[in-house]
Amino acid sequence: MNSQNDDQPAQRKANIFTGFLLFLVSIVLFITTTPLGFIYGIGYTLVTHFFKGLGGFFLEIAISIDQLGNVIMQHLLNMLWLKKGGYKFGNRDETISSVLGKNKVQNTLTGFGKFIVKILDTIDSNHVLDSIDYYVEPKN
């Protein structure tokens, strides 16, 4: 049995050198290209959709950052926010909010996890339940 839920296959094995090298390249590209892409994206959105398009642009960025956090912090979040047997964090195709929502439904959140859900649901009513993604690509 793997460390993920039964519906989440074990992660593909990768050579440590290749994985680390690709990680470093991705960090360099992110640092050097993100500011330009962000500024251009805001300008493009303002020209094509005016201010009403900015909300969607910012939401897309927030979702992508959320997915990154789900992967980077998976081990810590699984330990701090989930009871044993909970639906695990770590799928690169899913947001932290979606995982929290699934665990809220399954009642597998720790007290700390419930506290985080309360904060998110205060900011955006029913946030974690509305964020549940039922069509997540399996982790592989």
Q: What is the chain's pLDDT, residue by residue, as a tens digit (140 residues)? A: 344 444 544 556 778 889 899 889 999 998 999 999 999 999 999 999 887 889 889 989 999 999 999 999 999 999 999 999 999 999 999 999 999 999 999 999 999 999 999 999 999 999 999 999 888 777 66
Tell how many helices (H) and how many strands (E) occur in the chain: 6, 0
Output the pLDDT for position 53: 84
Alpha carbon distance 47, 58 (integer Å): 16
Residue 71 is classified by DSSP as: H
Amino acid at 108: T
Question: Global pTM?
Answer: 0.75
Token duo for residue 20: 């680390």
Of 88, 90, 100, 110, the closest CA to residue 130 belongs to 100
